[in-house]
Amino acid sequence: MAEPPSPEELEQLREQLASFSVDQFVVSAATTIASLAYAKLERGELGEAKKAIDALAALLPHVDPAVQTELQGALTGLQVAFADAAG
């Protein structure tokens, strides 16, 4: 079992998180959720895939417009793949 982080390590993590912009974090979260949704679809875990797809859809309005189109394409692809898998 891993040791819990030291107070110094926790402070470093806080500093690292504080250095991110919210836009960076939201884009990172959205891309991670999209990847997770694809993985859940591949495994046939439709309930989990649906949650991830819904979460991605909820994040999309908050994503930097520079990458919003790309993520919208991923969301559309996920929605179609989900419909195929569920049908």
According to the model, what pLDDT value does residue 45 have? 97
According to the model, what pLDDT value does residue 3 have? 87
Predicted TM-score (pTM) of the model is: 0.81
- The CATH number of residue 46's host domain is 1.20.58
Tell me the C-alpha distance between 70 and 74, whole Å.
Answer: 6
According to the model, what pLDDT value does residue 64 have? 87
Per the structure, the count of domains in the chain is 1
According to the model, what pLDDT value does residue 20 have? 84
Q: Which residues of the chain carry a pLDDT beneath 50?
A: none
Burial class of 60 by CB neighbour count within 10 A (0 to 12, 13 to 18, 19+) = middle
Query: Has residue 48 been placed in a domain?
Result: yes
Supply angle C-alpha 75, 55, 39, rounded to 5: 65
Give the domain extent around 63.
22-86
Query: Has residue 5 been placed in a domain?
Result: no
Per-position b or e across 9-46, b if 16+ CB within 10 A of its CB: eeeeeeeeeeeeeeeeebbeebbebbebbbebbeeeee
Query: Has residue 15 been placed in a domain?
Result: no
According to the model, what pLDDT value does residue 56 have? 97
